[in-house]
Structure 1
Amino acid sequence: MQLLALALYHRDGRPTPRVLRFRPGALNILTGESETGKSEILDIVDYCLGRRQPSLPDEPIDQTVGWYALLVTFGDTRMVLARPRPTGASTIHAMIRTGDDTLDIPRADELAPNANVATIRSQLSARLGIEDFRFQPPTGAARSPFDVSIAQAALLCFQNQNEIADKKALFHRQTENGIGQALKDTLPYFLGAAGPEQALRRYELGDALREQRAAQRKFDEATRRQAGADERSTSLVRLAEREGLLSDVPSILDVPLTQSLLDRALAAAPTFVESSDTSDRRRTLTEERRALRERWQQLNDALALVERWQEQGQAFTGELHLQLDRLTTLGLLGPEQPDRTATVCPLCTSTLEHPDPSAADLTELTEHLAQELAHAETVQPVRQEHRRSLETELEAVTESLRHNGAALKELTASDERMRNLQEQHLRIAHVQGRIAQELAAAHTLSADDLGRLRNNLTLIQERVETLQEQIDEDDVTSETERRLTDIAALMTPWAQRLDLGQAAVADEVRISLSQLNVVLRRPTGRLPLNRIGSAKNWIGYHLVAHLALHTYLRRHDRPVPAFLMLDQPTQAFFPEKIHDAATVEDADWATVTRYFELLRDVAQLNEGALQIIVCDHANLGESWFQDALIDNWRPRDGQRNALIPMDWLDPA
């Protein structure tokens, strides 16, 4: 797959898109001043190939562009891959059109979504020849499996201006989360050292290992159960004997007798329930006790009332007797003074200011009081009799309460015995449950079953060993290193040709799969790229690594897009914020020329199988360089030339 054209469509629907065309199978150079949009070309191509989260700048592209379209070729077949400008962080919409070698960039009014990102990746992967398989990480790895597709292959085709000068990372987006590991996982496949067969065997090995662990657990558990079955059965017989389920158990037990005793213990299932008579008796006694306590309280209240009456009567009659005795003692009421005048004092015969009552009045009053006293004395025996009757009944009620309490206490003791019986029943039920479990296990696990589990484990172990041997025979690591050695055979002379640091004394310059970086092998030891100074060397080693890698991929017809996009490979030779490299006279133009000559020669070496696209500030005067130019984004006729046309930025 190579690129034929890139088109940008204005958001207002203008019929004429901005089109940048590429030459397949050759060196393509886009030169120009800074801030003309050269670096965005790589990001747009990456986006059109199905990247979900593009890194496109906000201005001026986001203000003007509504659609992006990429025209690619697969020999006699062409495809248009178009995507609308991303809304927010990403977009999944896309348009795909397929045709013969006459297919070209569509018109603006033809753009309409008819696919999505997954469709782009699927169709590109199929046309590239990427086999449909899911990469399975090694057993025990924490990462998840994934489908191998154009998403991983495209990582080998781009080098933006920050990546090409990175001394710690060699590949596109390598430093992003998960991308470095994905490169390590898939580079052996893209090199031809591994394929779907190895991935399938690794997946089957993971399944087989899980089955082996499960079979081992079942076999170990069955073995433990069989080894302890006799001891557990004997213990259960003794336990059943203690709980009363068995009697007359011999001191020596064999296996048949043990099984028979366990069956007997399981069949003996006594039940203990409280009878309805006991429940009714408790309810009757409780109601009787409540009635007796109410009667006892009533009798106590009646006795208290009689006691108060008795006390009040005794106080009243006692006072009457006292007063009558006093009057009689003084002789004031005697018969010897019947004519005594009420106005004369009987003691001193003096005239009274207030006359005393007459003797007749006093006598009448005294007689009335004597009658009341006699009546009160006749009521007293009746009251005493009523009191004795109440006391007798109270004693009877008290005795009934005592008998009632004794009966309830007996029932409570009976409840305690019932609770003990219920607890014993629970213990017996627990023992019988253990016996039933043991008998069921004994019935389900026979000698034949144990043999079957052993045979199953043996078969799975043999399968694991076979798969492991096949994976070991594949020896993906050794095959990958052998192919990287072939790539190193190209890298080493090219690094020496560019006169890169330490290349002259290196026995070999190669790509390290474990480090995903360039490593030099010297007589004194290995030297990684991050220990070599100068951005010139970092860029140079990136160039030779990717050129050698793609040359190997093309020679072996591997399923990777046949283009390499490089952004600013000569940045190390110019000031950091250069506007136009063509105006810098004191740059190391000889070295810059050597870099581009290597790009030219590698493109010619691949004889049309590899397309190299370079976006750079440099503009060499050599005829071959000028022939390789696809555009020069420097002012022409007083007009600024860039990715976004000037009239697109005009508000009018």
Structure 2
Amino acid sequence: MTFQIQAIHLFNRVGQRRSVKFRLNELNIITGGSGKGKTSLIDIIQYCLGSTGFTVPSGVIRNHVEVFCLELVSEGTRILIARPAPETGRQVNTRMHYSTGFVPADLKLADVQSNTDVDTAIELLSREIGIQENRTDVGAGTRSSFSVSVKHTNHFTLQHQDEIASQSVLFHGQALEWVPQAIRDVLPYFLGAVDVDHLSKLEDLRMKKRELRRLRAADSERSDVSAPPLARRLLREAVSLSLIAGPTMDDAGVVLEALGGLLDFEPSEFEEFADEDQMTILVDNRERLRMRLAELRSSRREVVALMQHESRFSSEAGEQKARLETLNLLPNLSDAETICPLCFTSRPAGDSLAATLHEHLTAISAELEDVRGDTPQLQKVLDEYDKELNELSAELRLNQEEIEAGTTAHDAFIQARELNLTRAELRGKVRLYLSSTRSQIESSFTQSRIAELQEQVDLLERLLDPEGVQERLSTALALIGQMATEVATELQLEHAPAPTNLDIRKLTVVVDTPEGRYPLREIGSAENWLGYHLAVLIGLHSYLGRTNRPMPRFLFLDQPSQVYFPADHKDPSEEDLGEDDRESLIAIYSAVRKFIATSPSGFQVIVTEHADLEEEWFQDAIVERWRGHEALIPPEWLSGQSGDLG
């Protein structure tokens, strides 16, 4: 039992439907330019098949789609599985719609209303394709429980554009941290090497081995702890911490008794340093005092400079005035109006030289009086500055003493707290030591539990039959490798026709050549990476189909032609292909078409492409062409027009 995809239906918030329909057991191609929504189809399929995240890109699709729906066909039975978009502020929506039977041609939003939860819907679909009900309680690690379901088939049916030609990733989602182990767990089941119970037993074996390692480690530590040298070392440490007055003793009884006394020690309760806020205030006050002190000193320097300047001026001006007055050069102003003050000869009336000299002398005398009047005021200001400077200096010294005292107290607090913590840690070590040496019953129980677990581990390993599993797995991988080698040879890949194999442990392709074994990461060229991806996927699905394993019979390939186009072409077309690259791309599609044609149980391949080859078979395979305004989200939705696009 299995399924293929008949259609992907999208519903917007007003109930309009956009349907992308596919042909069963055929090659289906959607070709179009960049940004049309081709790659988003993978995200939609994952979401409808129960993914724990919503990876549909933000933008047009998220803004317009209300419900995502897959219409599946399983042996003639139609299955509808739909999931609403996450509500605002949520990562996913945990409600789903699941129904089987008749699907109306004019499917409405009301037909896919949620009727169950995600887990139930995925369980029903898993049963539909033949995966039996199963669940393993892990109890630890990243997975609280684990079960094989249809969700795990996505790893083998989907190839994102970043994966299809990857050198390091073979399966879908493999780059995520937790996925590789999940793939290793489920692949043997899908290949038929083990049954579903094998997975639960395998997880049970892992848990018991984990507990066994823990108990053995604890038992080993207990044995180490019981050694007498440890007791003496603990006692010496207690003496160094002043918990016990030395000297230390070698007698075991005395040592144990002394250590027992340490259990009465109660560590002190230490809050934050009580004067922390006061220290902050002191430091802030010191900065304020320093700034004020600097301001005062600067102002004082300015006053002193002014007084010195005025003193020099007063001295020089006084000397000049004194000379003039001593020489008696200037007569009375009334006489000076007609007598020259230099030669004492008569001068014409109106000559103002004497008056001018008298005016200068009077001005100098006035300035001298002003300067002599300012000096006492400046001295007063200077005295006030000196007084405040002395007060500030005293206050700053007191402040510094308080800061130093606070710092000393803080250092003492830190030392006391660290000593207290060290003493508390030692008490914990002593308690562990004494409990281990005095718990023979517990030790005996641990030994009994270890023996019991070892028996259970041995039984599970026999039931799991690792040799039989490995034999069945090797057979399956050999058949897969045989088909992969044929495809690689047809594609003329590097190292072909050397055997091509799937390495399930490292989850990669390995080519065995006479020169050595080459994993995919050691093989060059994106064309080879694409080819080996396709070869192994065809080999895998060929084996799964021929053995009727519970795996969907479809493969979704996202833009395989990308390796043939120049890297800087955002929206490449067929004209960008060289002749050799065009032939290589045709060879890729020929391998896909051959696989579909020869698959005994039928197989569907869906490809999203930039390329639009003119070959008739390629044109016949196109189900939609998204160019111009055509895209996954129709222009009618963007413009708000009504009507469905079936």
Q: How big is the shift at 1:151? A: 1.9
Q: Which residue matches 1:486? A: 479
SS of the residue aligned with 1:199?
A: helix
- 1:453 and 1:23, CA in 2 relative to 1: closer, same or farther beyond 3 A? closer
**Displacement after TM superposition at 1:80 (Å):** 0.8
Given that 2:545 and 2:600 are in contact with CA atoms closer than 8 Å, whether structure 1 keeps it comes out as no
Instruction: State whether structure 2 residue 124 is matched by structure 1 residue 119.
Output: no
Moved more, 168-177 or 599-608: 599-608
Whichever of the two has the greater Rg, that structure is 1
Letter in 2 for 1:5: A
| Alignment correspondent of 1:155 | 155
Q: CA deviation at 1:52?
A: 2.4
| SS of 1:96 mapped into structure 2 | strand
SS of aligned partner of 2:549: coil
Q: Hey, what does 1:517 align to over in structure 2? A: 508
CA distance in 2, matches of 1:462, 1:92: 45
Same amino acid, percent of matched pairs? 34
Shift of 1:511: 1.0
Shift of 1:560: 1.6
Match of 2:603 in 1: 610
What's the secondary structure of 1:38's corresponding residue?
A: coil
1:422-447 CA-to-partner distances (Å, cap 9, x unmatched) read xxxxxxxxxxxxxxxxxxx99x9xxx
Task: Say whether residues 1:178 and 2:169 are aligned partners.
Answer: no
SS in structure 1 at match of 2:53 = coil
Whether 2:636 is the aligned partner of 1:647: answer yes
Quick one: structure 1 residues 144 and 624, their matched pair in 2 at CA, closer, same or farther if it must change by over 3 Å? same
Q: Give the letter for the 1:641 counterpart.
A: E
Residue number in structure 2 paired with 1:2 = 4
Counterpart of 1:572, as a letter, is V
Q: Which residue of 1 aligns with 2:18?
A: 18
1:601 aligns to what? 594
Residue equivalent to 2:42: 42
Q: State the distance in 2 between where 1:211 and 1:582 align.
A: 60
Corresponding residue for residue 52 of structure 2: 52
Instruction: State the Cα deviation string for residues 561-587 of structure 1 (Å, max 9, x = none).
Output: 111100001101112334242332535
Instruction: Tell me whether 1:132 sits opposite 2:124 in the alignment.
Output: no
Tell me: CA distance 1:78–1:94, structure 2 relative to 1, closer, same or farther (3 Å). Answer: farther
Q: Do structure 1's residue 499 and structure 2's residue 492 form an aligned pair?
A: yes
2:468 is equivalent to residue 468 of structure 1 = no
Q: Deviations over 1:54-80 (max 9, x none)?
A: 211222112221111110111132211
Q: Could you tell me how far 1:558 is from its partner in structure 2?
A: 1.1
Q: Distance in 1 between matches of 2:56 and 2:18?
A: 17
Task: Name the CA shift for 1:144/1:475 in 2 (closer, same or farther; >3 Å).
Answer: farther
Q: Hey, what's the Cα distance between the residues in 1 that align with 2:211 and 2:122?
A: 35
**TM-score, with structure 2 as normaliser:** 0.59
Give ranges in structure 1 of 5+ residues lacking alignment.
221-440, 445-449
1:27 maps to a residue whose letter is L
2:97 is matched with 96
TM-score between both structures, scaled by the size of structure 1 = 0.58
Q: Is the 8 A contact 2:96 2:118 kept in 1?
A: no
1:81, distance to aligned residue in structure 2 (A): 1.1
Q: Deviations over 1:388-412 (max 9, x none)?
A: xxxxxxxxxxxxxxxxxxxxxxxxx
User: Do structure 1's residue 560 and structure 2's residue 561 form an aligned pair?
Assistant: no
Which residue type is aligned with residue 134 of structure 1? Answer: R
Distance, in Å, in 2 between the alignment partners of 1:189 and 1:34 is 38
Q: Is the 8 A contact 1:136 1:202 kept in 2?
A: no
Structure 1: distance between partners of 2:63 and 2:482: 48
> 5+ residue gaps in structure 2?
221-438, 642-646
Aligned partner of residue 83 in structure 1, secondary structure: strand
Taking the TM superposition and a 5 Å limit, the aligned residue runs for 1:286-301 are none
Other structure's SS at 2:637 match:
helix
Deviations 1:471-511, CA, capped at 9 Å, x for gaps: 3455433432321111000001111111112224x2x1111
Q: Offset of 1:93 from its aligned partner?
A: 3.7
Q: Secondary structure in 1 aligned to 2:39?
A: helix
User: Which residue type is aligned with residue 180 of structure 2?
Assistant: G
Cα contact 1:520–1:528 (8 A) shared by 2: yes
Q: Which amino acid aligns with 2:58?
A: D
CA contact (8 A) 1:170 1:518 kept: yes
Alignment check: 8 A CA contact 1:79 1:96 kept: no
Letter in 2 for 1:583: E
- In 1, the alpha carbon distance for the partners of 2:181 and 2:533 equals 19
In 1, Cα distance between the equivalents of 2:28 and 2:157? 14
Tell me the CA shift for residue 103 of structure 1.
Answer: 5.2
Superposition pairs for residues 330-369 of structure 1, below 5 Å? none
Coordinate RMSD, CA, aligned: 3.6
Rounded to whole Å, the distance in 1 between the matches of 2:634 and 2:458 is 65
Aligned CA distance change for structure 1 residues 3 and 211 (closer, same or farther; 3 Å) = closer
User: Could you tell me which residue of structure 1 aligns to residue 626 of structure 2?
Assistant: 633
2:576 to 580, 584, 596: 584
Would you say 1:550 and 2:552 are equivalent positions? no
Letter in 1 for 2:530: I
